[in-house]
Amino acid sequence: MRGDRCKVIHFNGAVVLSVLRQGHAFFAFEHGTAAFSVDGKDHGTFEMLTQKPSPSLSQWERDETQSTSLLSMIDLLIATTNPHKLEEISAILTPLGVRAIGLGDVRLPESNTDGGTGVSPVGAAAASTLPEPIEDADTFEGNAAIKARYYAAHTGRPCLADDSGLEVDALNGAPGVRSARYAGAKGDRAARDTANNDKLLRELANVPKAKRTARFVCAMCLAAPDGAILATSRGVFEGVITDTPRGDNGFGYDPLLELPDGRTSAELPPEEKNARSHRGDATRAIASTLRDLISES
């Protein structure tokens, strides 16, 4: 490693060793090591190199002033209780050393009785018990900011939120920001998804396929507990609305958005969906900003 740029960086109490070598960045963390290959200004590829604890930093070449601690994973709150969404985001953030945790995994600080250590006792109220914020913005970006600021303020930790939905050109952009509430149905997530899909197909019953162009949109916002916006991003996933739902991978309108290759979003394997989807694009852009924030901290 002689001649490489070696740096220890700190973020939210975590210690991260990065080694820069000929267009590659290597990261050591508690669950293994990863490599990031730079393909362009804002693009690159992560590859897990090991799945076991990495060596202590004392085994890496470093400046004498650098820390000898192991890298700990950074916990980042994601404003969701949707396990599918959490899985998609986790798949992209985990190689960065960022552990994505949902609202059900975080206890509210108001319930703490631990003397200020930041660890809530068993039985403290989860953030998922909070009343949902009123998402009354007329853009995906506005609603993502509302959610990120709300949960960051209530939990006392940075929060990443997204607002995503479907825009159909033949319906003047509907369902848009009302995608999750399009049919006004009650019940569990699966029941609401079915009702929304049924309504969309009824609305497009007399529209030819060539005019059923549509796209998924995902806007993301990372907010600090004081309300400061740390990062934003946007991703899109283009296609057309098919006549009948197809596929079992995904949720929401995934079975209805047909891609140029003839498959629906719900027919893509999870890895391919993460690589192509609106949420994947938005998460990768946020991940790029996270790297910058970590490096500057």
The pLDDT of residue 297 is 55
Task: Say how many C-beta atoms besides its own lie within 10 A of residue 166's C-beta.
Answer: 28
User: CA 148 to CA 227: how far, in whole Å?
Assistant: 8
For residue range 160-195, list pLDDT tens digits in order: 999 999 999 999 999 999 999 999 998 898 999 999
pLDDT digits (tens, 9 = 90+) for 45-99: 444 333 333 333 333 333 323 322 223 568 899 999 988 889 889 988 888 888 8
Active site residues: 163
The 10s digit of each residue's pLDDT in 29-59 is 333 334 444 334 433 444 433 333 333 333 3
Phi-psi region at 189: left, alpha or beta (left = phi > 0; alpha = psi -120 to 50)? alpha
pLDDT tens-digit series, residues 244-269: 999 998 889 999 999 999 999 999 99
**Could you give all domains of the chain from N- to C-terminal order, each with its CATH number?**
1-57 (no CATH), 73-296 (3.90.950.10)
The mean pLDDT of 131-150, rounded to a whole number, is 96
125-137 tens-digit pLDDT: 888 889 999 999 9
Q: How far is residue 219's CA from residue 232's CA, in Å, rounded to a whole number?
A: 7
pLDDT level of residue 273 (50, 70, 90 thresholds) = confident
pLDDT digits (tens, 9 = 90+) for 196-210: 999 999 999 999 999
For residue 228, with 0-12 CB atoms within 10 Å meaning exposed, 13-18 middle and 19 or more buried, which class applies?
exposed
